[in-house]
Homo-oligomer: A and B are copies of this chain.
Amino acid sequence: MTQLHDPAWRGFASDNYAGVHPAVMQALSDANGGHQVAYGDDVYTERLRVWVREAFGPDAEVFPVFNGTGANVVGLQAMMQRWEAVICATSAHVLVDEGGAPERTGGFKLHPVATPDGKLTPALVDEQAWGFGDQHRAQPAVVTITQSTELGTVYTPQEVRALADHVHGKGMRMHMDGARLSNAAAALGCAFREFTADAGVDVLSLGGTKIGAMGAEAVVVLNPAAVQGLPYLRKGAMQLASKMRFVSAQLLALFESDVWLQSARHANAMAARLREAVAAIPGVEVTRAVDANAVFAVLPAEVTARLQQQFRFYTWNEMTGEVRWMASWDTTEDDIDAFAAAVAREMGAVVAR
């Protein structure tokens, strides 16, 4: 087999459309050769454990998995008894984009709360944090937040801390879906632990795939007292890799060096460049804060349709005409400029009428 695709083509649909960072490819090659014990007793996974303790604190534990849905469902399951439930935003990936895996495969209920910007607050949590001890109610036990959120916003460490204190004060536990944790950290200019372990997060889904891995995520346990049975739950959820060295090596390649940071800074910068360019175009309304690598905007439907013939991206809300443009670690300035020019061109045709 040889290369079947055009490696010059890029779009704005998802950071999952991007390929693998060269440093990750090199790490996969380095991890190859000879035998390593399967299922996590290899030297690369061991090294990853060392990094996790350095990055998140001496009690932190790491369980590599295949994908983000797997990380979320395994991590959340480990934080809950069968009769407990998770409070989340109505925009949460775990609620809307995981095909019912939390309910069907994880066996747990989600209590959703509408938010203005994808971010939960203590007051919003309280809309669902009730009924403790009532046998008729799936018991609220975990609050999950996404960092950066599905709407491109970022929690400050102070916001996470306030939320975690509130959550813990109610006897619940705090989970963070960090599929885009690197983008958040780059945006905040913080180390991961400042807005995770140090801010009261108990369990984290650490994302590698969107920031340059081939397919590598991890459940990172920041508070071991908050979980039970993780190795068994990971296996039962079919997220245990046999040749785990290759999953761990990807995460090491990203996180032991500053590959994650350079990649995330770049993606965020490309999103900012795009926001700036399109915000200046008459008729385009940027609808949300561009804290990380996503730009949301409202366009006329006909413009969206014409742009989608040239560039790949998603309509986020059919009713309002809101679209989402994602920048990736491999998005170039030329990509942005060409796309912004196209937006301007298509909008101009409309506005001119």
Contact = CB atoms under 8 A, between A and B. Distances in A.
Contacts of A245: 5
Contacts of A6: 34
Given A35-B11, A98-B136, A3 B19 contact: no
DSSP class of A's interface residues: helix, strand, loop or mixed? loop
B34 A7 contact: yes
Contact of A231 (B18, B135, B236, B241): B135
Contact of A67 (B19, B44, B101, B241): B241
A237 B9 contact: no
Given A3-B31, A243-B215, A249-B1, A36 B20 contact: no
Contacts of A237: 101, 105, 238
Interface string A57-70: 00000000011111
A38 B5 CA distance: 14
B8 A34 contact: yes
A50 B108 CA distance: 34
6 contacts: A1-B252, A3-B33, A18-B35, A66-B67, A68-B242, A135-B232
A116 interface: no
Contacts of A11: 35
A342 interface: no
A215 B7 CA distance: 23
Contacts of A28: 20, 25, 28, 214
A344 to B, nearest CB: 22
Contact of A36 (B8, B17, B81, B135): B17
Given A231-B135, A242-B215, A253-B1, A35 B99 contact: no
A298 interface: no
A170 interface: no
A18 B33 CA distance: 7
A312 B130 CA distance: 21
